[in-house]
Amino acid sequence: MTHSLPPLPYATDSLEPFIDRQTMELHHAKHHAAYVSQLNAALERHPALQTLSVEALLRGIRSLPGQVRPAVRKYGGGHANHSLFWVTIGPPTGGPPAGAIADAINTSFGSFASFKERFSKVALNLFGSGWAWVIEHHGRLTIVTTANQDSPLARGRSPLFGLDLWEHAYYLLYQNRRADYVNAWWNVVNWPAINERLAHEMAGVVAH
């Protein structure tokens, strides 16, 4: 089994004006695709690892052979991070989160406004390339960052959603204005999809 680039579940221009078509095309078909092909190349000599999902590779990264570990960290991380990113954004629907994610946000941060402020601040303070993440644990949400393409999965944490803070995610439209990109991203967050992920995670916790 080899890893493959998941198709985008919407048209590349459907996030405009917040994320432009050209950025979406390059980001998905070039950047993400490169992580997938580099991951596959790294696993070529490790047939036993080729049956594992990218999530399983990252969760078990410490037990991987030393020669393949850096590639899984970089390219497996890049593949998993982007696969999650695409499905937790979507065409703008407007409006704040509802349902379970709204409850979890209110419980953890007091209000959506204060969550938004905290998350944005964390995203702006991240130096260099990386990601800001929201992680759920027993119904409470926390905000963490990772550098480069490091995945929270490699630290035993499952990200609910995250924001790509590499310049390739915003430079064409926003140049160096990361704050404008972060502000724009709130308009394309797919709260219904995040609610579904949250429901699965909370069901998983109950089942343990």
Give the residue with the Cβ less far from Mn ion, 136 or 164: 164
Q: Tell me which amino acid residue 180 is.
A: D
Question: How many CB atoms are located within 10 Å of the residue 43 CB?
Answer: 22
> Of the candidates 164, 165, 170, 189, which one interacts with Mn ion according to CB under 5 A?
164
**Crossing angle, helix 112-125 and helix 99-109, to 10 degrees?**
70
CB of 168 to Mn ion, least distance (A): 5
Helix, coil or strand: residue 74:
helix
Q: Does 171 bind Mn ion (CB under 5 A)?
A: no
Nearer to Mn ion, 168 or 200 (CB): 168
Taking the complex as a whole, the smallest distance from the CB of residue 166 to Mn ion amounts, in Å, to 5
Residue of 10, 166, 171, 186 that binds Mn ion (CB under 5 A): 166
Query: How many Cβ atoms are within 10 Å of 64's Cβ, its own excluded?
Result: 19
Taking contact as CB under 5 A, which single stretch among the options 34-42, 142-150, 156-164, 198-206 is the one that binds Mn ion?
A: 156-164
- Identity of the residue, 23 or 195, whose beta carbon is nearer to Mn ion in the bound complex: 23
How many Cα atoms are found within 13 Å in the side-chain-facing hemisphere of 19? 32
For residue 8, give the DSSP letter.
P
Residues that bind Mn ion (CB under 5 A): 164, 166, 169
